[in-house]
């Protein structure tokens, strides 16, 4: 689906464009994608953030290779503070 948007160091899914098909969930290398009704309480703030950033970042329609440092970032705490807008 074409509901992904890419920023400098973050991908977002536009919640109004996502059709909840769940095809992206198993493709996510760090299991960071949840359906809206299964979103953990401590990640509810990401719904609003995804909608906000999807309105300003460019849409991507194809899966890209993982960044070379992806494993280094997987599981790293407090990454939200490093978000580049």
Q: Inform me whether the pLDDT recorded for 1 exceeds 80.
A: no
> Domain holding 74: CATH number?
3.30.70.20
Please state the domain count of the chain: 1
What does pTM read for this prediction? 0.88
Confidence category of residue 28, pLDDT binned at 50, 70, 90: confident
Confidence category of residue 67, pLDDT binned at 50, 70, 90: confident
3-state SS assignment for residue 60: strand
Domain that holds residue 39: 4-82
Q: Inform me whether the pLDDT recorded for 83 exceeds 80.
A: yes
CA distance 12 to 32: 11
Distance of CA 73 to the CA centre of its chain: 14
Confidence category of residue 57, pLDDT binned at 50, 70, 90: very high
Give mean pLDDT, residues 36-64.
93
């Amino acid at each position: 689906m074409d509901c992904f948007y890419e920023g400098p160091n973050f991908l977002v899914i536009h919640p109004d464009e996502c059709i909840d098909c769940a095809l992206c969930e198993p493709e996510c290398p760090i299991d960071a994608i949840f359906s809206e009704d299964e979103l953990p309480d401590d990640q509810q703030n990401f719904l609003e953030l995804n909608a906000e950033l999807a309105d300003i970042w460019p849409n991507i329609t194809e899966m890209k290779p993982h960044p070379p440092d992806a494993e280094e970032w997987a599981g790293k705490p407090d990454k939200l503070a490093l978000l580049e807008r």
